[in-house]
Amino acid sequence: MKNSKSLLLTESGIMLACATILSMIEIVSLPYGGSVTLFSMLPVILIAYRRGIGWGLFTAFAFSLLQMLLGVNNLSYGTSAATVLAIITLDYIVAFTALGLAGAFRSLKSQAAGLALGTLLVCAIRYLSHVAVGFTVWRDISIPANQALLYSFVYNATYMVPETMVTVIGGITLSRLIDIRSESLTRAAAPKKAPDLAVLFSGIAKAAAATAVITDTALVFSKLQNAETGEFDIRLISSVDWPLFSAVALAGLVVAALFSVLAKRVPQDSDVSLKRLFSAIPLVLVLAAEVVIAAFIVNTLKEGAPDAEGIIKIAVSAAFGAAAAGFAVRRYAVKRANRG
């Protein structure tokens, strides 16, 4: 793989843009800190898996700094210079830089297995980092001093378990569709060279199943923490909207089953080519990122004059929006040059 610095920086820029914007989209937000986001760790994990641990750590470190800027208000809870330093180090630098280790299993033949194991590894490190700062720094602030270690383990699990599930499912689904390790993101190789249409239908089936699992996970875990005390309480599972849970599960099952059947019914000699569609996926992601960025900035400005944190979020979003646009322009220019 040709790793020119300009290409690496461009890829990292667009992935950081996606990760930062996705981190602002919270599926579940817990009252005492921590949230389940929409695949916010996945873009950084993909860079680490695609380009290796070295470049992955560099990108993940940049992501940790961005997360610290976006959560700068949390530093005000530190009661001393030592606690502020501990928050910066454990809650941000270590927790998010660890994502760069996701390429540790890149050598495995199975892309899905390598990505899943790498994701589990970095999520475990991030979880332990949050646990450590929880029972040391946050005790007596947002975590009761009594049994602080146990409380920190349980509390951080209420968002890290579903966050890990969301990320693993997203990574496996994407790895089934795209060869992440190739220089140009192409369709993942199928064991029997499946027709493009079959691959598309199979991808839709897996995406539907993944969406249902993620949604139902959020519906359940969002209810397992006491809003007044922040304590994990399994008894609160009775407050889950089970009719909605069942409807989502059923819809996901039906759509997944339908497209799985359609995928198997595609003739092996089908000449329908979706090469252009697969090659357009990166540009579609860029366009989606631009739309989300624009919507976020507009909604933030509509709420009135933004505070310091709001200004930082707008500036970061605008910068990464520009980076995403630059990526799209460069990709188009390279393709045009190759055709010439």
Summarised one tens digit per residue, pLDDT across range 275-326 is 666 666 666 666 766 776 777 777 777 777 776 666 766 776 677 667 667 7
Please, are residues 12 and 59 in contact by the beta-carbon 8 Å criterion?
yes
What's the pLDDT at 1? 47
Query: Cα-flanking dihedrals φ and ψ of residue 106, to 5°?
Result: -65, -25
> Residues 74, 120: contact at Cβ < 8 Å?
no
DSSP state letter for 103:
G
Supply the pLDDT for residue 165. 85
Question: For the chain, which ranges sit under pLDDT 50?
Answer: 1-2
The C-alpha R_g of the chain, in whole angstroms, comes to 21
Task: Provide the token pair at 21.
Answer: 């914007």
Spell out the residues 6+ positions from residue 77 whose beta carbon is closer than 8 angstroms to its own. 87, 138, 141, 142
Helix, strand and coil content of the chain, in percent to the nearest 5, comes to 75, 5, 20
The CA distance from 317 to 294, in Å, is 8
Q: What is the rounded average pLDDT for all residues in the chain?
A: 78
Q: Which residue is listed with tokens 């979020």?
A: 313
Q: At what angle do helices 42-51 and 53-70 cross, to 10 degrees?
A: 160
- Stated pTM of the model: 0.66
**Model pLDDT for residues 112-149, shown as the tens digit of each residue:** 889 999 999 999 999 999 888 877 776 656 555 666 77
Question: CA-to-CA distance for 174 and 235, rounded, in angstroms?
Answer: 35
Residue among 330, 306, 311, 202 at smallest CA distance from 263: 202
H or E element that contains 67? helix 53-70
Structure confidence at residue 193 (pLDDT) = 63
What pLDDT is attached to residue 275? Answer: 66
- The residue among 98, 106, 93, 151 whose CA lies nearest residue 124 is 98
